Amino acid sequence: MPKVVWFNGTVTPFESAVVPAMDHAHLYGDGIFEGIRIYDRKVFKLDEHLERFYHGINYMGFDMPYDYATLHAAILDTARAADIDNGYIRLNVTRGTGLGLDPKKLESRANVMIGISTLALYPPESYETGLHVVTAPIRVISPDALDPRLKCIGRYAGNIMAKQFANRAGAGEALMLNAQGNIAECTGDNIFLIQNGILRTPHSSSGILKGITRDTVLMLAKDAGIQTEETTLTPFDLSACSEAFLTGTAAEVIPMVTIDDRLIGDGKPGPVTKQLISLFREHTKIGTAF
């Protein structure tokens, strides 16, 4: 696979795509990103990712030099240039370059990157045996401080520290609660529980990123006749459920089998989780071909 990246309108080798040291994303985390998967030479949920990306750009008031159609075509062109069957696309935009918070003082426009690589978030065997998860002491950012739908670079500081906490505990993931102590999400994934046969996930007002994989799994479950509920979930629910799993573009759908020192259900990936993993894998065939 040729290592290529689309950077400000040109496809170049990885090494030539350089963001200036005084870039606002470097100085202040002032940037927005998306992670998108390629399955079998098709880009999965491209429009859903681009829509979330442009909503974030509008919300933060970036001066974005490329419109939706240009970026849509550029992603497909770059995937073709990378000649990759299965992989991960990283779409990034920074506000621009210049010292000082004030966007009026920027010396250059946005830097936009489409990088194509491979990404395995968890060891392959975890998809069979399930992930061990610990509750992080760091909470998600409150939705009244920063809208959780905004997938901006700066908001990940706490998630990275929560991931370090999981690493220190020898766990695969960290569960993050919200300011009220309710379940929000993991560091890069949404969470689902199965309770009395109902598939339950925290409501979008819980301070979660409204994941595209989350929406996909909810849709697949409804189509399969599984009752779903977006609601408030507390840590108690993890002791009162029979199964749990995590979802995300990078994570895909992965079983979760313990929380802290307790088993979830019988501590093994359950039947509803396995059914949804298989429905999800089938659904990944529907992407945009390049």
Ligand X SMILES: Cc1ncc(COP(=O)(O)O)c(C=O)c1O
The distance of closest approach from Cβ of residue 285 to ligand X in the complex, given in angstroms and rounded to an integer, is 18
Q: Which of 23, 30, 173, 185 contacts ligand X by CB under 6 A?
A: 185
DSSP state, 6? E
The distance of closest approach from Cβ of residue 96 to ligand X in the complex, given in angstroms and rounded to an integer, is 24
Q: Which of 30, 173, 189, 252 contacts ligand X by CB under 6 A?
A: 189
Residue 157's contacts (CB-CB under 8 Å, 6 or more residues apart) are: 29
The distance of closest approach from Cβ of residue 16 to ligand X in the complex, given in angstroms and rounded to an integer, is 27
Alpha helices in the chain (DSSP H): 24-28, 46-60, 68-82, 126-129, 157-168, 212-223, 235-239, 271-283
What distance in Å separates the CA atoms of residue 72 and residue 66, rounded to the nearest whole number?
10
Q: Whose CA is closest to 29, among 114, 107, 94, 99? A: 94
Is 92 a residue that touches ligand X (CB under 6 A)?
no
Report the residue number, 160 or 240, with the smaller CB distance to ligand X.
160
Q: Using CB under 6 A, which of the segments 111-119, 164-172, 192-200, 243-251 binds ligand X?
A: 243-251
Task: Dihedral sign for Cα 53, 54, 60, 65, please.
Answer: positive
Q: Which of 31, 130, 188, 202 contacts ligand X by CB under 6 A?
A: 188
Q: Which of 92, 126, 249, 273 contacts ligand X by CB under 6 A?
A: 249
What distance in Å separates the CA atoms of residue 27 and residue 39, rounded to the nearest whole number?
34
Q: Whose CA is closest to 97, among 152, 26, 162, 146? A: 26
User: Mask 206-225, x = binds ligand X (CB under 6 A)?
Assistant: ---x-xxxx-----------
Closest residue to ligand X, judged by C-beta, is: 211
The distance of closest approach from Cβ of residue 208 to ligand X in the complex, given in angstroms and rounded to an integer, is 6
Question: Both tokens of residue 29?
Answer: 């985390």
Is 178 a residue that touches ligand X (CB under 6 A)?
no
Report the residue number, 212 or 272, with the smaller CB distance to ligand X.
212
User: Mask 15-44, x = binds ligand X (CB under 6 A)?
Assistant: --------------------x---------
The distance of closest approach from Cβ of residue 12 to ligand X in the complex, given in angstroms and rounded to an integer, is 26
Question: Both tokens of residue 95?
Answer: 């506000």
Residue 175's alpha-carbon distances to 20, 161, 191, 242, 244, in angstroms, are 35, 12, 9, 17, 12
Binding stretches for ligand X (CB under 6 A): 35, 159, 185, 188-190, 209, 211-214, 247-249
